[in-house]
Structure 1
């Protein structure tokens, strides 16, 4: 703020440091050169709302995503996630359903991180649809540790607890989200450190995990036949054939594998290409070389589940590999992933791999 000089007149009033005049017969005015400089907003703005239990991410004035942690969810998620042009790459159901969407797997919401077997408890499949919680775990948001906006990136740091139905903590999670965006590209880094504070924690091989994204209907593969998918507990979910108009999704892995064949294979990255409202979109998930279980197995389904699962090796390899990852009391492990949303372009061959090499080094 510019400090004004006191004007001396034949009166005893003191001129305040404001635009008001206190009856001295003269006004304290700023000259053109004395005007306060306009405060420029950060390009990437994080807006914290503790009442609504969310942190919004705004890039160049446009909504990108929100970190949300309402009590109605069994884990915090990023939801929804938009392209640079405002199209949501995430399914709306069950929070804000859109016409023509699938209504299977209510635990698939936005972008999340959990696992299907943590000391025998299922964190992955838990949702409001589950009434008996004794065999399920849930992830509770504990605190927001840091919120930083910026011109190059926005950073959100949070702490979470992985708990059983009795409220006992199996794992603590400290996660950093890094949000970036420029032109027609958006990026999310999710870096999670899991620690076992109260005893050994076993994350036994299970196909339900670990970093998950449920995509908008348009990014699904065209549905050619009805299918039934069974979770690790034997619970079956019907996925019917649907109208394929405007359904354009196609997976491609770093190993050159395409379509539904990506499921159960390993690779550094997988991209999903499609179109929403005439916008060409590619969504890529990138593994990181230091992650446990690298290179990850891909739990990627044509009906819209796009997930990286580094720990479910026995289930995803049909018994060829086995990991049975575990943490001793006090031990930690860090899982680092990057999600890139390319929009308004068909990503040329090699672009995702180029971006992966640049990031992984």
Structure 2
């Protein structure tokens, strides 16, 4: 077993043990004092585990997600992400594979934030599958700045570096995650400030970006034919036709665009509706009006990639728009997104739009 596979194997064991520990909670065998103490805990609890390189997020005693940063990954991610009923909306592979799911694009894991062209380096496609790293960058977790639990929200602040293969820092990233949950709804705010500390950074228009979520198989669109997708370097990845039993996903954008036609369009938000087991689920990603490149282009594919890309305008508009975003030395830019996971309901466009207006104002 090679180094990266051993790392992933060890981390899979940690995730499994953590889930078992959470699942085995309860009051049986505990004293009244212990039960009273648990009742006084914050509803939204963040549990920092430096040894396992993660921070777990627990809402009303149920696992929601983890911020993970093992050495085996090329960027920190939120993984897995669960609904209020405990169903994972994220794909398991390559960390914890599940029967019947796809095994393409190993860099698609959980919820992440990076880009395909940063001073000519590809941060998006980097993974343990890449052997020659000279043309790739990776994101290094530097520190946890703050961890706060609470009854209304939990807040995690982290510091990251975007580095080249020589370890030179191109961008620093200071990100705040805000986790909320009530009844059947879960919310993640991801607010990232990128700064160019050592010189100009060019983020040339590229379709591979930027806030990405890889969904569980059940939330994909039914696959009608095999397809091949090519990255900016010309590397092709085949996505085969698969068994469509239980596959129910459907995109809808703020502009009324549906299904695979969402790809390459702009909009304030996109929702993805589907069903896992008996749970009706909708996942929405919301773009904030002050973000660079607003309103974002959507790099959303029916095979399970759900991404907002505000910087890839030329690639996603077939040349009609062009941005070529850059930061001068010392300059910063902030990217703010909200991810909402609705459970036990099929959310129509009116509901997501109301939630968007309330948040964006």
Cα deviations by residue, 1:122-145 (Å, 9 ceiling, x for unpaired): 000000000000000000000000
Matches for 1:241-256 after TM superposition, within 5 Å: 241-256=241-256
Matches for 1:199-278 after TM superposition, within 5 Å: 199-278=199-278
Cα deviations by residue, 1:292-326 (Å, 9 ceiling, x for unpaired): 00000000000000000000000000000000000
Cα deviations by residue, 1:147-179 (Å, 9 ceiling, x for unpaired): 000000000000000000000000000000000
What SS is found at the alignment partner of 2:261? Answer: helix
Distance in 1 between the 2:233 and 2:345 partners? 41
Cα deviation, residue 258, structure 1:
0.0
Aligned residues: 327
Distance in 2 between the 1:349 and 1:319 partners? 29
Residue 198 of structure 1: aligned partner: 198
Residue 141 of structure 1: aligned partner: 141
**Is 2:252–2:349's contact at 8 Å kept on the other side of the alignment?**
no
What SS is found at the alignment partner of 1:300? Answer: coil
Residue 344 of structure 1: aligned partner: 344
Give yes or no for the alignment of 1:107 onto 2:99. Answer: no
Cα deviations by residue, 1:192-216 (Å, 9 ceiling, x for unpaired): 0000000000000000000000000
Cα deviation, residue 278, structure 1:
1.2
Cα deviations by residue, 1:7-62 (Å, 9 ceiling, x for unpaired): xxxxxxxxxxxxxxxxxxxxxxxxxxxx9994400000000000000000000000
Give yes or no for the alignment of 1:319 onto 2:319. Answer: yes
Distance in 2 between the 1:281 and 1:38 partners? 34
Cα deviations by residue, 1:68-116 (Å, 9 ceiling, x for unpaired): 0000000000000000000000000000000000000000000000000
**Is 2:157–2:174's contact at 8 Å kept on the other side of the alignment?**
yes
Residue 10 of structure 1: aligned partner: none
Cα RMSD (Å) of the superposition? 1.1
What SS is found at the alignment partner of 2:251? Answer: strand
Kindly report structure 1 stretches of 4+ aligned residues shifted beyond 3 Å.
35-39
Distance in 2 between the 1:226 and 1:304 partners? 14
What 5-or-longer segments of structure 1 have no aligned partner?
Answer: 1-34
Residue 94 of structure 1: aligned partner: 94
**Is 2:254–2:349's contact at 8 Å kept on the other side of the alignment?**
no
Q: Looking at CA atoms only, which structure, 1 or 2, has the larger radius of gyration?
A: 1
- TM-score under structure 2 normalisation? 0.90
Q: Point out the structure with the larger helix share.
A: 2
What SS is found at the alignment partner of 2:299? Answer: strand
Distance in 2 between the 1:184 and 1:333 partners? 33
Residue 294 of structure 2: aligned partner: 294
Distance in 2 between the 1:124 and 1:265 partners? 20
Cα deviation, residue 348, structure 1:
3.3
Distance in 2 between the 1:248 and 1:183 partners? 24
Distance in 1 between the 2:34 and 2:356 partners? 44
What 5-or-longer segments of structure 2 have no aligned partner?
Answer: 1-32
Distance in 1 between the 2:59 and 2:246 partners? 28
